Amino acid sequence: MAKKKKPQPESEKPQESLANTVSAKGRIKRDLVFDSQFLEDMAYWVKTDRKLALRLLSLVEEIGRIPFDGTGKPERLKYQDANVWSRRLTDKDRIVYLVSEDRIEFLQGRYHYSDH
């Protein structure tokens, strides 16, 4: 006959920080942080091109799951910090984001990174 395990008191349960949580698919979950410039760019797209604003939101969601692969041809920006990446939103507009161990900071959602 199998023994029943006693439930652990709250103080003895292992604590998980958000930075160290891993999804069922083995991906690290990171906080998403939005720079004021990115929020201004998002507001611009909502006012001028709702379809593009939805594409931007879709890319943000995808970047949150898989920051280095996927839609929009992700590329590391060579002349910036080693952790700064971009993806294509349109032919001339890019999403620029910084990836660290525990968060992804969205820096820009409009223009080409060299134009701004």
Higher-pLDDT residue of 14 and 41 is 41
Q: What is the pLDDT of residue 12?
A: 44
Q: How many CA atoms lie within 13 A of 39 on its CB side?
A: 6
Q: What is the pLDDT of residues 26-62, one digit of tens each?
A: 677 899 999 999 999 999 999 999 999 999 999 999 9
Q: Which residues are catalytic?
A: 75, 112
Q: What is the pLDDT of residue 109?
A: 96
Higher-pLDDT residue of 79 and 4 is 79
Contact, 18 vs 64, CB < 8 A? no
- The correct answer on CATH 3.30.2310.20 for the domain covering 28-108 is yes
Average confidence (pLDDT) over 72-87: 91
Least confident of 6-10, 62-66, 68-72, 87-91: 6-10
Q: How many CA atoms lie within 13 A of 6 on its CB side?
A: 4
